[in-house]
Structures are given as structure tokens and as C-alpha cells.
Amino acid sequence: MTANEALFDYALRLGDDALILSQRLGEWCGHAPAIETDLTLTNVALDLIGQAMLLLGYAGEVEGKGRDADKLAFHRDATKYRNCLLVEQPNGDFGRTIARQFIFSTYQRALYQELTRSSDRRLAEIAAKALKETIYHADLAAEWVIRLGDGTEESHERMKAGFEWYWRFVEELFTAEPADAALIGAGIAVDPAKLRAPFDAALAATFAEATLALPKYPRPITGGRKGRHSEHLGHLLAEMQFLPRAYPDAVW
Amino acid sequence: MTWRDRVMDVLSRVADPEIPVVSVVDLGIVRGVKDDPKSVVITTTYSGCPATQVITSDIRKALDDAALNDVKIEMALSPPWTTDWITEAGRKKLQAYGIAPPPKGSGAPGLKNAQPATCPRCGSIKTREVSRFGSTPCKALWQCETCREPFDRFKCH
Ligand SMILES: [Zn+2]
């Protein structure tokens, strides 16, 4: 893999994470427990779409084959997607959705914080912009984890179950790809292993307040970064990509 | 009037599509005017703000209508937009329109929305946050405990 291909793959991964999670959150539109929650989840989705557009747009420029953010989002098959498995999982109930959001936004906040110091100027600029949004997302998710965890018996159980379900996908977030070594060495990419400590610290603080016990890590499931996805991604893409695939010349 | 002054004059009359009482200059999304090539530099508020495309085309039309067709529009990503860039005039217009403006210096992490908002209807500071995410990416939903009216607050960012 050339340096350029590695950078393309890296930007693609960051963009795909944001895009796929935004699509999942959009599914809550009209279905959330309260209208404020509905607005909240779709606002987070909107921020993530914006981040995906910046990151995929950059990936397309790096690749230099004339693909823009739309082309990469709508005209790529599941095996070409590089998002982590966490973000493509079905929403489940509200507790499970919040567990996923907490895990992802806490990770993404630590990631963007590091990435603002990237030697790649564009990645650093995108991270600085996105970080301000992601801090809101992480705070929001933490507040919900506390509210549900330290709420009723029912809400506590659902919050606990949500984390237990998602725990198998956590490891992947902190695993580097072989091609990353050169990017990390050059100060372009963030070494994901470095993000584990701030993630664990945020987790411990929120869980203590939420009266939740840290789940044991089960055998992790990985593969998303290599294009090996769960069956759920194909279904998600079928819905997301239908219009531009069926009517490739359609314009806004 | 120099061409720069003319450009700024035109832009000061381009309204934000979602909050039409404030201009794109009031909101601090016009970052400057550059020579060679002649261009205005603008930035987005939130990266996913759906108004961005409308703002860009509104600015294009306003410049063209003022015979400033040769002035290009350049998007800047950095430094990231902050509510500290909303002008004093812009803050007053927001308040009068019924949207509590963000306090100055509130963009820094840790200070986010910590201070109570002043109710734009009755001036009470006995207010509470209902939802941090509101009708647009830049606004939160608040309620006044004194007059009971719900209102939008510009999110500190
Ligand atoms: Zn009031």
C-alpha cells in the first residue's frame, strides 16, 4: 500500500464511521421516546453527516480518481466500506442506542482531540471543527447513561443490557491497521491504542455515577476496517443508496 | 467606496436563511475579503448545517446583483467558527427576535451553557434548559420559569 493509499484508507475509515452512525441515528426520526429526544438524535446525525462529508471529500481528493463525498457514499458496496462494526448495528431500544452513542462519541472525542495535532493539515482542521460538535455528543450520551443507569429498575436493566450487547465491538475501535504504522510514525494518523486511557477514564467516571458495573470484555468481534461486515450493513446501504443508484443522474 | 467596502456592504444585507433577522456578517461566518483572486472567505457554523448551501448561493446572487461577479467565494475550514464571532449588533437582533444570544467568551469547553439564559420575553434569569439540541444545529430549547414561555437559545459553541 502506498502512502497515499494508506491516507485514503484512513480518511475513508473516519468518514465511514460518521456516515453509517448518522444513517442509523436518522432511523430514530419520528420514533424517539419524546420530541426533544427525536430532535437530539437527528441533530447528532446531522453533525455526523457534516463530518462524513468533510472526511469523505478529503478521501476522494487524496485518492485523485475524481470521486467526491457523494460518489464514495452512494456508489460503494458493503465490502468497500471501512467503518467499525459498532456503528452499523441495528438501533435496538433507546438504551442500546445510548450505549452505542456513549461508546462511539467518547472514543471519537479522544480521537479528534489527538487528531487536531496531526501533521496532515486538512485532517487537523477537520478534527478541530468536528471536536466542538463531538464534545456535545459525548456529554449528551453521558447524561443519558447516568439518567437511565441511575433511574428505575427497568431503565437500569436496559442500559446495562445495551452496554453488554455492544461490548464485543469496543476492541475494534482501539486496534490499528497494519498500514497505519507509517501514518502514525509520520504524525498523520492517531495511534488508537493511545485513546484507550482517556476512554477508560471517561467510562469509569460515568459508570460510577450511573451505578453501572463495567461489563467484562467478551471475545471481541472485528473485521469492519477490512471490509468484513455484519449482514446489517448491506441492508442499511440498500436503503441509503437506493435513490442515487436507481436514478444516477438525479440532482437536488 | 473600495470594492472591499462594497462587498462587505452587500454581505451585511444577506440574511441568514434560518434566522432572517441577522445577516451572514452578524453571525461571523464572513471571515474576510481577499485580493488575488478577489474573494470573500466564509466558513460554516456546524459542519452539517443544511443552510450552508443556501447561504453560499444567496451570497453569490447578492454579489452578482451588485455587479461583483468577479468576486469568488472561498470556504475556510479553519479556525473553526465560534459563537464569539457573533457581532454585538447580531446579539441584540437575536435577543429582539426572541432568541437568547450566547454569552461572550462561552465558546471555551467547560463553560458551555453553564450560565442561565436571560428570557428574551420578560428578562428573567430563572430559566432552564429543556433540550440541548433544538430546531436547528445552532439552537437549544429553553424555558422561562417566570413567564413559563419556551424559547430558543443560541448554543454556545
Ligand atoms: Zn420569561
* Angstrom distance (rounded) from CA B53 to CA B44: 10
The pLDDT tens digits for B70-117 are 999 999 999 999 999 999 999 999 999 999 998 777 555 544 556 788
Between the CA of B147 and the centroid of ligand 1 the distance, in Å, is 4
* Averaged pLDDT score across all residues of chain A: 96
Choose the closest CB to B47 out of A37, A44, A133.
A133
Q: Which of 12-41 (B) contact A at CB < 8 A? A: none
| Average of per-residue pLDDT across A216-233 | 93
| Average of per-residue pLDDT across A103-108 | 98
The reported pLDDT for the residue numbered B96 is: 95
The pLDDT tens digits for B34-49 are 988 999 999 999 999 8
A36 touches chain B (CB under 8 A): yes
Between the CA of B134 and the centroid of ligand 1 the distance, in Å, is 18
What residues have CB less than 8 Å from A232, skipping those under 6 apart?
A: A88, A89, A90
Give the CA distances from residue B142 to residues A41, A115, B103, B118, in Å, rounded to whole numbers and listed in that order.
18, 33, 15, 10
Architecture, CATH, for domain A3-212+222-246: Up-down Bundle (1.20)
The reported pLDDT for the residue numbered B112 is: 55
The pLDDT tens digits for A111-146 are 999 999 999 999 999 999 999 999 999 999 999 999
The pLDDT tens digits for A153-208 are 999 999 999 999 999 999 999 999 998 999 999 999 999 999 999 999 999 999 99
User: What are the cell numbers at A69?
Assistant: 463525498
Q: Is B78 exposed, middle or buried (0-12, 13-18, 19+ CB in 10 A)?
A: middle
CATH of domain B3-81: 3.30.300.130
Q: In what order do the strands lie in the sheet with B99-100?
A: B99-100, B150-154, B139-144, B127-131
B4 touches chain A (CB under 8 A): no
The pLDDT tens digits for A32-69 are 989 889 999 999 999 999 999 999 999 999 999 999 99
* Angstrom distance (rounded) from CA B34 to CA B74: 9
% residues pLDDT > 70 (chain A): 100
Residue B20 confidence (pLDDT) above 60:
yes
**Whole-complex ipTM:** 0.88
